[in-house]
Amino acid sequence: MTAVVAVALTLSLTVTTYDHTSPAAARGKASGAATGPVDCRETKCVALTFDGGPSPTTPGLLDILKQQHLHATFFLQGKGHIDTYPEVIRRIADEGSEIGNHTWNHRVLTQIDADDARQELTSTQEAIEKITGTRPVLMRPPQGRTDRQVSEICRELGLAQVLWSVTAKDYETTDPALITRRVLDQTHRDGVILLHDLHKGTVPAVPGIIKALKQRGYTIVTVSQLLAPAQPQPGMVYRP
C-alpha cells in the first residue's frame, strides 16, 4: 500500500498541467459575429500554418497563396530568418496572412529556465514589431512542447499557444506527393495543418494540398479565423 501511495504521489508531482482548449470549443463559448468573410461555426474550416521561416522559398509560397486568394498563419523564427528576410515578413503582413512567434533560436522552452524562455519569445516579438508595426498574439512552441511555466510566460507576453492536428513531417522527406498524402490522410474539420516552407518538398506540395482540400469541401483559413468569434487568450494552449 505504501508503495502504491508513493508511486501516485510521484506521478502527481511530475505530470504538468496547463489550460488548453480546442478551436471548436473556444468558438462554441464565444458570442457575436465572426470577423472577416468566413464563419467557421457554419463552414467546414481548416487552418494552414507554416513554421520556421521566412526563408528563400517563402516568396514562392506567397505567390501561390495570392493566386488562390488565401491566407495562412506563419510562425516565424528569429535567428537566420526574421533577421535575414525582413522584406518577406513585410510582404506576409501586407498580403493579409497572419504572423506568429516561433522563438528566436528554436530552443525547446520546457528545457530552459524562465528567463531564457522569456527572452526567446520577447526577442522575436520585438523583431516582428519593428518590421511590421504589430506584435503577434499567437506563438507556437518548438516541438509543440509547453508546460505551466511556458504558459505563464506566454500569458505575461500576450501570446496564445497554437499546436496542431496534422503534420506531414516534411522535414524528413523531399517528396511533394508524400507530403500531400500525409496532410490529406490526417485532415479533419477544425484541424490545424503544420508545414515548414523552408523544406525542399513542401512548397511544391502546396498547390495540390489546396486543390484537394477544396475538393473535399474545406475552407482554408488562418488560426485567428478558425477561432473567431473567440479571441486568442494569452497563455491558453489551442490544440484541435
Q: Which residues are catalytic?
A: 51, 196
Q: Identify whether the C-beta of residue 38 lies closer than 8 Å to the C-beta of residue 221.
A: yes
Q: How many CB atoms lie within 10 A of CB 76?
A: 27
pLDDT at 18: 87
Question: Does pTM top 0.75 for this prediction?
Answer: yes
Is residue 116 left, alpha or beta, with left meaning phi > 0 and alpha meaning psi from -120 to 50? alpha
pLDDT at 15: 45
pLDDT at 2: 42
* Adjacent-strand bridge partners of 76: 101
pLDDT at 1: 46
Q: Identify whether the C-beta of residue 71 lies closer than 8 Å to the C-beta of residue 97.
A: yes
Per-residue pLDDT of the chain (240 residues; tens, 9 = 90+): 444 434 343 333 334 578 999 999 999 999 888 777 899 999 999 999 999 999 999 999 999 999 999 999 999 999 999 999 999 999 999 999 999 999 999 999 999 999 999 999 999 999 999 999 999 999 999 999 999 999 999 999 999 999 999 999 999 999 999 999 999 999 999 999 999 999 999 999 999 999 999 999 999 999 999 999 999 999 999 999
C-alpha cell at 195: 508545414
pLDDT at 97: 98
